[in-house]
């Protein structure tokens, strides 16, 4: 039995991942605002530190894998705090316990939104580790109804770039820990339910996220991939953002490879 820490375990992709792992007999420590083994707010430094300390204590100091799913898609600065800092700071805080595992792994949920327009200064502030600056920029964007949406793709672009950089560092590759990201298309979860409920909302989503293969995807399609990425079978994948998105990336980026 391996011990997995899964963030966002109370809903959507995180819940599907926790369920899949439990069905295979693995030990899951969920982290979420409510309805999880560890209840913590990953939008704040104190919440991240609490979450890491509680998870490590529950795991008796040995964590085999971390799967970070918690996130929001709102056009506000807090999106960067949760989607980027809530992932990168938590993973960093859990590293000592991962190092105690015989086959440590980590995977995070990014998005096909990495391919959408971003605010470069916001991405740079996040990658520099400057949360105060990132929040200030995000707040400015949020004041303009035409620009607020940039908070979400910027958070995911920064996250995928962080994964790419960190994955080959002494902390991760050097310690034998594969670190990768998954980029879903449009997943049917509570996050997208309201938008997909109206024909106008669904049409807007489909225009931005073309999915020629099987259209909207269930959370289980992402859970299966996350579980493989964090299994001992994954020995050589590092720094990738794996687009599991019904063909959205192949459609939008075409030959850009």
| Residue with smaller CB distance to ligand NAI, 176 or 251 | 251
**Minimum distance, C-beta of residue 100 to ligand NAI, in the bound complex (Å):** 24
The set of residues, in sequence order, having a beta carbon less than 8 Å from that of 24 and lying 6+ positions away, is 227
Catalytic status, residue 149: no
| Residue with smaller CB distance to ligand NAI, 47 or 239 | 47
| Residue with smaller CB distance to ligand NAI, 133 or 205 | 205
Burial of 182 (0-12, 13-18, 19+ CB in 10 A): buried
d(CA 35, CA 44): 19
Q: Which two tokens stand for residue 189?
A: 């979860």
**Minimum distance, C-beta of residue 131 to ligand NAI, in the bound complex (Å):** 14
| Residue with smaller CB distance to ligand NAI, 13 or 94 | 13
**Minimum distance, C-beta of residue 199 to ligand NAI, in the bound complex (Å):** 18
Annotated active-site residue in 4, 84, 152, 243: 152
Q: List interacting residues with ligand NAI (CB under 6 A).
A: 8, 10-14, 32-33, 41-43, 69-73, 82-83, 109, 111, 184, 186-187, 189-192
> Any idea how long the chain is?
257
The 3-state secondary structure of 14-58 reads: HHHHHHHHHHCCCEEEEEECCCCCEECCCCCHHHHHHHHHHHHHH
**Minimum distance, C-beta of residue 42 to ligand NAI, in the bound complex (Å):** 4
The catalytic residue positions are 152
């Amino acid at each position: 039995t391996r011990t997995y820490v899964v963030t966002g375990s109370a809903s959507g992709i995180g819940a599907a991942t926790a369920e899949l792992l439990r069905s295979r007999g693995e030990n899951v420590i969920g982290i979420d605002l409510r309805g999880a083994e560890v209840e913590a707010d990953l939008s704040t430094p104190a919440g991240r530190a609490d979450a890491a300390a509680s998870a490590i204590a529950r795991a008796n100091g040995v964590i085999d894998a971390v799967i970070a799913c918690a996130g929001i898609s709102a056009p506000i600065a807090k999106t960067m705090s949760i989607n980027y800092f809530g992932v990168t700071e938590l993973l960093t805080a859990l590293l000592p316990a991962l190092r105690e595992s015989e086959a440590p792994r980590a995977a995070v949920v990014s998005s096909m939104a990495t391919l959408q327009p971003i605010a470069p200064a916001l991405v740079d502030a996040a990658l520099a580790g400057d949360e105060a600056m990132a929040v200030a920029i995000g707040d400015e964007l949020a004041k303009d109804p035409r620009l607020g949406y940039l908070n979400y793709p910027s958070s995911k672009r920064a996250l995928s770039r962080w994964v790419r950089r960190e994955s080959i560092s002494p902390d991760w590759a050097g310690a034998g820990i594969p670190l990768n990201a998954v980029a879903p298309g449009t997943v049917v979860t509570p996050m997208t339910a309201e938008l997909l409920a109206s024909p106008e909302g669904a049409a807007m989503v489909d225009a931005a996220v073309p999915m020629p293969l099987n259209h909207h995807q269930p959370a289980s399609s992402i859970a299966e991939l996350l579980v493989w990425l964090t299994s001992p079978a994954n020995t050589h994948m590092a720094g990738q953002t794996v687009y599991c998105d019904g063909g959205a990336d192949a459609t939008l980026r075409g030959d850009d490879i």
